[in-house]
């Protein structure tokens, strides 16, 4: 039975590694919930960090791409 199961999973080592992890996640009960919590926390963290630390600063300085480029060029050359 193990031999036929190996044939279903593929001969490629990458496929065997992939299915090893797939079977592991299928067997988890508490771990699946913990991974879901971790994923939600990471998504929320990066959304919050993006809006707090990376605001769209150039949107208030110019309307067009050329205007934004001119603003950046002016700020780099004339500190």
pLDDT digits (tens, 9 = 90+) for 2-55: 555 555 677 888 888 888 888 888 888 888 889 899 999 999 998 888 888 887
| pLDDT given for residue 37 in this prediction | 94
Separation of alpha carbons 51 and 40, rounded Å: 17
Predicted TM-score (pTM) above 0.75:
no
Domains identified in the chain, total number: 1
The string over 52-73, giving b where at least 16 C-beta atoms fall within 10 Å of a residue's C-beta and e elsewhere, is eeeeeeeeeeeeeeeeeeeeee
Asked if pLDDT for residue 1 goes beyond 50, the answer is no
| pLDDT given for residue 39 in this prediction | 94
**pLDDT, average across residues 51-66:** 84
Q: Which structural domain, as residue segments, surrounds residue 69?
A: 2-77
């Amino acid at each position: 039975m193990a031999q036929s199961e190996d044939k279903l999973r593929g001969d490629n080592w990458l496929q065997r590694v992939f299915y090893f992890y797939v079977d592991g996640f299928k067997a988890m009960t508490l771990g699946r919930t913990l991974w879901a919590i971790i994923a939600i926390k990471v998504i929320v963290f990066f959304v919050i960090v993006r809006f707090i630390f990376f605001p769209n600063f150039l949107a208030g300085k110019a309307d067009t791409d050329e205007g934004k480029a001119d603003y950046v060029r002016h700020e780099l050359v004339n500190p």
